[in-house]
Structure 1
Amino acid sequence: MLAARGVEIAREGVVAVEGSKPTVILAGGRKVPLDGLFTAPRTRMANGLPEALGRALEEGPLGPYIRTDATKATSVAGVFACGDAARAAGSVSHAVGDGVTAGMAAHRSLIFDMH
């Protein structure tokens, strides 16, 4: 069905993307000009803070992220994480929702979980 729509699957690795109108350079040297291109680059933590705090990281398809539970609590008691740092893939709407969840859980931990 893809071939009928003019879709070609290139099995070689991508070496580079060049030009303002993207041209993909494949490992074999072949150049494939495109009308548009969507990418999903690997991400990384902006700094070493998660590791310094002892937070456990997971490896997602796009890079590492901070492991959290449903309330956005990390592996360190009283530490919460949200947004792209705590998701396998970035999304503004999910980051906003995660922020609300983390904020409510942090508030609850300060008010109700005092020892």
Structure 2
Amino acid sequence: MAELERWGAALERTPVARITGERADVILADGREVPLDGLFTLTRTRPSGTLAEQLGCRLEDSPMGQFIAVDGIFRTSVPGVIACGDAARAAGSVAFPVGDAAMAGVSPHRSLIFGPE
């Protein structure tokens, strides 16, 4: 909090009811309106379907939401099942999931050559 104060930042603890206006007018749950020139948000994500759960993949909770748990080469907790992209990473960027998908392709190839680890 002290660091935020040094930077002149304020922390608003009242929940946001909605965002409106041409730029970013934040309407708080108590009815107050906070007009801003811009706004960065961090939303919580969750898997869009239940396939990973149905397969028995372990899911992880993080401050950014729920993701399929994977190891360094994108293997899930279920042998033979890999996951990548937004389902397995708090990416916030298109580039990370695209790179992850390329790397995830190595995982099945690797298991065919070296066997399951």
> Smaller-chain TM-score range?
0.7 to 0.9
Query: What is the match of residue 92 of structure 1?
Result: 94
Mapped partners of 1:109, 1:95: distance in 2 = 21
How far residue 96 of structure 1 moved from its aligned partner, in angstroms, is 2.2
Query: What is the match of residue 81 of structure 1?
Result: 83
Percentage identity across paired residues of the two chains: 52
Q: Deviations over 1:19-77 (max 9, x none)?
A: 23211112322101111111111112121111111110001112110000111100000
Q: Scaled by the length of structure 1, what TM-score is found?
A: 0.84
Q: Secondary structure at the match of 2:105?
A: helix
Query: What is the match of residue 43 of structure 1?
Result: 45
Mapped partners of 2:88, 2:10: distance in 1 = 35
Instruction: For structure 1, list consecutive stretches of 5 or more residues without a partner in the other structure.
Output: none
Amino acid at match of 1:73: R
Q: Scaled by the length of structure 2, what TM-score is found?
A: 0.83
Runs of 4+ residues over 3 Å off in structure 1:
none
* Alignment RMSD: 1.7
Number of positions where the alignment pairs a residue of Structure 1 with one of Structure 2: 111
